[in-house]
Structure 1
Amino acid sequence: MYIGSYSQLTFGSTEVFFIFDDVFEIPLDLSTLKVNKPVRFKLHVDRELLQVTKQKLALTRYPEEQTDFGPDNWSQGAKVHKVKELAEYWRDVYDWAKHEERLNDTFDHYLVKLHVPDYGHLVLHFTHAISERPNAIPMLFSHGWPGSFVEAEKVVGKLSNPENLTDQAFHFVAPSIPGFGFSPAPARSGVGPTLVARAYKILMTDVLDFEREALRVRRNFEVDQSGYLEQQKTRPQTLGFALGDSPLGLLAWFVEKFHDWGDVHETFTHDDIITLVMMHWVQGATPGLRFYREAFGKGIRDADKTFETYVACPTGVSMYAKEQLHCPKDWAQQVANIQYWKELYHYVFVSERLGRRKSIWLGMVLVIVGAILQTSAFTVPHLIIGRIITGFGTGMKTSTVPMYQSELCDRKARGRLVSREVLFVGVGITIAYWFDFGMSFVGGPIAWRLPIAFQMVFALVVIALVFALPESPRWLFAHGRQEEAIDVLCRVYDLEPTDEYISEERDAILVAIQDESETIKNSPLSIFKNDKFRTRYRVLLAGGIQFMNQAGGINLVVYYIPSVLVLNLGTAIGVGSNWLWNFTVVMITPVLINRLEWKAYFVFMATNAIFVPLIYFFYPETSNVRLEDIDSFFTSGRNPVAVAREFSNKAKKGGGVDPEAPSFRG
């Protein structure tokens, strides 16, 4: 970290100093800082420390794990395989210089000396993003442990200058707690949550000249999983010997919390996680650990005073699914001026949570369970329950397989492979009906029990083979498993990891994942918004294809044949469907057959004739196009069909289309 010579600039009623040239090594003489006069600086970590860190990681001795605890059982603490994976990535791949540059580009960093009543001088590091909007209001972002100001990286731009002009903008301030990140460690005790809250108020009102009451930072430490708390609040110095000198120990200490307290280990990349750890490794872990002693270790906890003061400052709360304490909204309103409240739960599809292979495997297990229940049924409710379970399994399979194929195969083969899945659905239906027809001559319960049971044969084959297939590289990238993802790409394309094509695929997938996370945001309903990716339009296209699929007449065949065989069985069981158009077609098919008989096929011949021009003029061609490039068809500002044709024509000539080129954007 360095600080250089500065020039003076007026910011509000406060003089702010900006860096230019001369470099001074840290630790510098902090007494040269003037009270309430921020000095701007850039992050710069001593390269010798980085080299020593890699050496320590290379000399790591990992603990042994007991064999009766599975790979997903975290009850004894951080899993060795997970910590080892991250440690090796930190040692061999992680590039702090790149992230240091990114953090300097993303944030404006400052140091400021504050005079805090009843304590004295305290030096804070903080970042400040000034909004360009005239109606912007101040927002203070305070991190916790084991967090840092880095957590604000993905939101600072969206909050200070949101894309939507009608959204509220903020002057965004994200300080580091003393002893955390790049805030110097306090030289003496007494710096706990209450004193830090006072310091934050001084920062927001006296230094940055914000007249509104600063957010009073009050801790919310929960006693669940409180072993770490007891250690850090009683003997932080002793714990610091272990965590302050061992990058692996600090990494494992954090990884366990990332797993237990949220989905950080699933949604953050290896680089994200290690950068968070670096914020505590560079200065040393002890000051951050000591903060707990100041908060909890003096008999009367600061938290006991939480309800004594009403926070009048407008306050926003996001309650996440893995919060240790779920505070009811009406309770929170008793102690703070709550203007925004949102409870965020896990809107994650099974295939996104488990991975594509595990989702297919689970779907087949449900098919087998449902088939067993149906085959052994002696009552109608028993049969229906089995059918519902089988339906869930089939739905999981049919929704996951096309996605898995699309993400895994070469773009030139994607159309053929995905369409084959639909083709084999039809083949399976045909086989099933001929099997049913043959069994109808047998008589007795075996005539219907055996056809139902026979589907388990195919499910067992899938269960036996699915884990011989590689996982989706897109899913692996999305869950921070980059080395595995690159290995899969290399096997699929038969190339080396250093090949330029592999690098292009990796970069395109990572960009697409980032775009998707920005589009979906916090609610599934965001897919109906007309954003820069024209998501609502694309959802309508997908819905239109589903309508055409159902209205094209396939269900006339699917439901007509059972209606013939039903005469032999003497009973019929109706099955509901989640798809609106599927439900509609199922409802009208019996009427069509009853009134029009074989002429009902002419209705669907007519609908198919109408669908041909609709598909030609409104649906862009996506064959031979990477999944990650399809977004560019909709973000160019032009007709997606025309853009797709231009893309296809240039690709046939041996070139490609640059989505950023003026001709592509129109």
Structure 2
Amino acid sequence: MGYINNVRGNWLIFFITLANAASMSWFGYDQGVFSGVLISKDFIHYFPEIKDPNISGITSSCFSLGAFFGAIFAFTLGDKMGRKRTIMLGLFANSVGAILQISAYHLPQMIIGRVINGFGMGLTSATCPVYQAECSKPRIRGKLVVVGSLCNTAAFCLANWMNYALYFSGGALQWRFPLAFQLVFPIIVITVLPFLPETPRWLLLQDRQEEALEVIARLAGKNVDIHDSEVNAEFLSIRSAIAAERENRLSIKDVLLFRDKTQNFRRLLLSCGTQMMQQFSGVNALGYYLPTLLQQSVGFDQQMSRLLTACNATSYLGAAFLCLLLIDLVGRRKLMLYGSVTCGSCYLIAALCLRQGGINPAQNKAMGAATTSMFFLYYFFYGTSYAKVPWVYNSEINSLGWRTRGAAAATATNWMGSFIVTQFTKVGVTNLGWRFYLIFAIIVYCYFPIVYCIYPETSRRTLEDMDEIFLQSSSVFVFRNSALTQRNRPQVFVDAENRRIAEGSKVDGETVLEEKRPQVSTHLETATQA
């Protein structure tokens, strides 16, 4: 552990990414594992109440409800506690909740355990992407945030294969072991996280300038010290952005009325919007209930439903790896636009196939196979778009002073959407049949004009560039401004960065050694290169 205290550069980024990835893995694992738990015979024996669709819904969705309150907690106290301590508190709540679930013999204990586990997940899922983003360079920031989300998907895949393997075991092992396995993830994080630094941006928010400068130097490379011109340039840029934000700070009322120059409330709404789009794409309708849906809507037996769910999770993991390559290469906007068209089309075709199978029983098997293939394709298209982009986007778009609150509000929106969708999926499928999937098709198609008109591009920008985006455009609509929609970093942002550094150099700072006045250099934008 003493070694971790001294690591610098890429190895330090590796350990930060490891902690973030393990935290997000827990999130994905829980989403995957409970779909198999719900249909385990021994689980149904101990908790026969879940045969009621409403009880089954609340047993699944109470996790999301707890996560919603965890994200709200991060919104109110995250900036005071710091990124690391917020994550540690989340891990503690996760562990308590997991132990309550593992040892449950009565439904109230199971539900309480899931709520507490969810509360911790709300804290970590709101904070981990911010922690990663604030420690990463612009050219790789998207990829590294996606790595955490990718591990989320890998854990989801692992959980589904575990569900299939344990189908053959029977007894309590079939569901208690998968619930117990989730405790592996906090062990990894707790081993590493206490020895990692706080983010330089949070340290500067707390006026801990010496520590911030040292952390920037540690993140920059093995042989880089605080006298390095690039380290000073980054320090001055962040410090200048904070000073400008404090100088122009308005009351909460004025922010909510869009009176601040950098439009913090608009940015918060945009980040919340990405998470709402993610959840109302219906992913948790399939994530928690795909084995149930394959049995109820398509007609497969339990073994085949588990096997297909595990295969689907593997395809989803492959899509997540592809997104890792595309997120910075293509940009955030294009991936969301593509996801709107493809995911909506999958739902539309699935709904029409189920309708045709209901009208003509002779075609039921063929239509069931076609519906299953649409579910597979949906996960592939979703995995390369809305599965990952919202987590990156809401960790980037908000200003420094609002980044934790913005990410927490977005995450709270995600979890509330998850709660609503999960709670009513089984009831919706029972009462609406094929029409239930048509609802999601219409909703997802509506995302295209929304993203096209009002969502600016955030890839290849520094986190301080985000203020410039909203200073450049007071209009809600961005699609006519190429500087706000192009993938590469616009020159106007480079010029603004130079001004911030020049202004920061004039400020009397006790911690910055300024033998030369640095200009925008490679720390900022290797990202300007294609």
The yes-or-no answer on 1:538 pairing with 2:267 is yes
User: Whole-Å Cα distance in 2 between the matches of residues 506 and 547 of structure 1?
Assistant: 34
- Alignment-mate amino acid for residue 617 of structure 1: C
Question: Is residue 100–residue 109 contact of structure 2 (8 Å, CA) maintained in 1?
Answer: yes
The aligned counterpart of 1:454 is: 181
Alpha-carbon distance, 1:642 to partner: 5.4
1:497 to 198, 210, 226: 226
- Alignment-mate amino acid for residue 559 of structure 1: Y
User: Whole-Å Cα distance in 2 between the matches of residues 626 and 426 of structure 1?
Assistant: 27
The yes-or-no answer on 1:645 pairing with 2:483 is yes
Question: Is residue 436–residue 451 contact of structure 1 (8 Å, CA) maintained in 2?
Answer: yes
The yes-or-no answer on 1:390 pairing with 2:117 is yes
- Alignment-mate amino acid for residue 632 of structure 1: E
Question: Is residue 621–residue 644 contact of structure 1 (8 Å, CA) maintained in 2?
Answer: no
Alpha-carbon distance, 1:356 to partner: 1.6
Question: Is residue 559–residue 589 contact of structure 1 (8 Å, CA) maintained in 2?
Answer: no
CA offsets 1:139-182 (integer angstroms, 9 cap, x no match):
xxxxxxxxxxxxxxxxxxxxxxxxxxxxxxxxxxxxxxxxxxxx
Distance 1:650 1:400, change over 3 A: closer
Residue 443 of structure 1: SS of its match in structure 2? Answer: coil
Deviates more, 1:397-406 or 1:629-638: 629-638
User: Whole-Å Cα distance in 1 between the matches of residues 228 and 282 of structure 2?
Assistant: 47
The aligned counterpart of 1:470 is: 197
Question: Is residue 577–residue 583 contact of structure 1 (8 Å, CA) maintained in 2?
Answer: no
Alpha-carbon distance, 1:591 to partner: 4.0
The aligned counterpart of 2:157 is: 430
Question: Is residue 104–residue 110 contact of structure 2 (8 Å, CA) maintained in 1?
Answer: yes
The aligned counterpart of 1:507 is: 236
Distance 1:649 1:538, change over 3 A: closer
Alpha-carbon distance, 1:505 to partner: 1.8
Task: Say which structure, 1 or 2, has more relative contact order (CA 8 Å, 6+ apart).
Answer: 2
- Alignment-mate amino acid for residue 550 of structure 1: Q
User: Whole-Å Cα distance in 2 between the matches of residues 660 and 380 of structure 1?
Assistant: 60
Question: Is residue 368–residue 456 contact of structure 1 (8 Å, CA) maintained in 2?
Answer: yes
The yes-or-no answer on 1:528 pairing with 2:256 is yes
Distance 1:352 1:635, change over 3 A: same
The aligned counterpart of 1:658 is: 496
The yes-or-no answer on 1:615 pairing with 2:344 is no
Residue 624 of structure 1: SS of its match in structure 2? Answer: coil
**Aligned counterparts, 1:310-459, within 5 A:** 349-459=76-186
Distance 1:628 1:613, change over 3 A: same
Alpha-carbon distance, 1:395 to partner: 0.9
Residue 183 of structure 2: SS of its match in structure 1? Answer: helix
Alpha-carbon distance, 1:543 to partner: 2.3
User: Whole-Å Cα distance in 2 between the matches of residues 624 and 521 of structure 1?
Assistant: 29
- Alignment-mate amino acid for residue 440 of structure 2: F
Alpha-carbon distance, 1:647 to partner: 8.7
Distance 1:482 1:643, change over 3 A: farther
- Alignment-mate amino acid for residue 82 of structure 2: G
- Normalising by structure 1, what TM-score? 0.41
Distance 1:612 1:565, change over 3 A: closer
User: Whole-Å Cα distance in 2 between the matches of residues 376 and 649 of structure 1?
Assistant: 50
Deviates more, 1:557-566 or 1:482-491: 557-566
Alpha-carbon distance, 1:588 to partner: 4.0
Residue 555 of structure 1: SS of its match in structure 2? Answer: helix
The aligned counterpart of 2:429 is: 593
User: Whole-Å Cα distance in 2 between the matches of residues 543 and 363 of structure 1?
Assistant: 21
CA offsets 1:213-268 (integer angstroms, 9 cap, x no match):
xxxxxxxxxxxxxxxxxxxxxxxxxxxxxxxxxxxxxxxxxxxxxxxxxxxxxxxx
Distance 1:353 1:390, change over 3 A: same
Distance 1:449 1:536, change over 3 A: same
Question: Is residue 459–residue 487 contact of structure 2 (8 Å, CA) maintained in 1?
Answer: no
Question: Is residue 647–residue 656 contact of structure 1 (8 Å, CA) maintained in 2?
Answer: no
- Alignment-mate amino acid for residue 126 of structure 2: S
Question: Is residue 620–residue 642 contact of structure 1 (8 Å, CA) maintained in 2?
Answer: no
1:547 to 276, 282, 286: 276
Residue 457 of structure 2: SS of its match in structure 1? Answer: coil
Alpha-carbon distance, 1:518 to partner: 6.1
Q: Equivalent pairs: percent with the same residue?
A: 34
- Alignment-mate amino acid for residue 494 of structure 2: G
Residue 477 of structure 1: SS of its match in structure 2? Answer: helix
Distance 1:445 1:425, change over 3 A: same
The aligned counterpart of 2:418 is: 582
The aligned counterpart of 1:15 is: none
- Alignment-mate amino acid for residue 455 of structure 1: Q
Question: Is residue 633–residue 644 contact of structure 1 (8 Å, CA) maintained in 2?
Answer: no
Distance 1:430 1:516, change over 3 A: farther
Residue 627 of structure 1: SS of its match in structure 2? Answer: coil
User: Whole-Å Cα distance in 2 between the matches of residues 484 and 642 of structure 1?
Assistant: 42
User: Whole-Å Cα distance in 1 between the matches of residues 81 and 295 of structure 2?
Assistant: 39
Alpha-carbon distance, 1:369 to partner: 1.5
Higher-Rg structure is 1
The aligned counterpart of 2:43 is: none
**Aligned counterparts, 1:557-576, within 5 A:** 557-561=286-290, 563=292
Alpha-carbon distance, 1:482 to partner: 1.4
User: Whole-Å Cα distance in 2 between the matches of residues 608 and 410 of structure 1?
Assistant: 32
**Aligned counterparts, 1:43-192, within 5 A:** none
Distance 1:370 1:588, change over 3 A: closer
- Normalising by structure 2, what TM-score? 0.51
Distance 1:536 1:359, change over 3 A: closer
- Alignment-mate amino acid for residue 402 of structure 1: P
The aligned counterpart of 1:479 is: 206
Alpha-carbon distance, 1:399 to partner: 0.5
Root-mean-square deviation (CA), in Å? Answer: 3.6
Distance 1:460 1:366, change over 3 A: same
- Alignment-mate amino acid for residue 120 of structure 2: G
Alpha-carbon distance, 1:637 to partner: 4.2
User: Whole-Å Cα distance in 2 between the matches of residues 498 and 648 of structure 1?
Assistant: 35
Question: Is residue 74–residue 123 contact of structure 2 (8 Å, CA) maintained in 1?
Answer: no
Alpha-carbon distance, 1:519 to partner: 6.9
User: Whole-Å Cα distance in 2 between the matches of residues 490 and 497 of structure 1?
Assistant: 6
Alpha-carbon distance, 1:406 to partner: 1.1
Question: Is residue 461–residue 489 contact of structure 2 (8 Å, CA) maintained in 1?
Answer: no
- Alignment-mate amino acid for residue 622 of structure 1: T
Distance 1:490 1:442, change over 3 A: same
The aligned counterpart of 2:365 is: none
Residue 164 of structure 2: SS of its match in structure 1? Answer: helix
The yes-or-no answer on 1:624 pairing with 2:460 is yes
Question: Is residue 366–residue 389 contact of structure 1 (8 Å, CA) maintained in 2?
Answer: yes
**Aligned counterparts, 1:206-225, within 5 A:** none
User: Whole-Å Cα distance in 1 between the matches of residues 289 and 470 of structure 2?
Assistant: 40
**Aligned counterparts, 1:150-299, within 5 A:** none
User: Whole-Å Cα distance in 2 between the matches of residues 500 and 595 of structure 1?
Assistant: 65
User: Whole-Å Cα distance in 1 between the matches of residues 105 and 248 of structure 2?
Assistant: 49
User: Whole-Å Cα distance in 1 between the matches of residues 492 and 271 of structure 2?
Assistant: 30
Structure 1: gaps (5+ residues): 1-345, 569-575, 662-666
Residue 480 of structure 1: SS of its match in structure 2? Answer: coil
User: Whole-Å Cα distance in 2 between the matches of residues 403 and 515 of structure 1?
Assistant: 21
Question: Is residue 483–residue 490 contact of structure 2 (8 Å, CA) maintained in 1?
Answer: no
Distance 1:601 1:650, change over 3 A: closer
- Alignment-mate amino acid for residue 503 of structure 1: N
CA offsets 1:297-353 (integer angstroms, 9 cap, x no match):
xxxxxxxxxxxxxxxxxxxxxxxxxxxxxxxxxxxxxxxxxxxxxxxxx99744323
Residue 494 of structure 2: SS of its match in structure 1? Answer: coil
The yes-or-no answer on 1:635 pairing with 2:471 is yes
- Alignment-mate amino acid for residue 486 of structure 1: L
Larger relative strand fraction: 1
Distance 1:411 1:370, change over 3 A: same
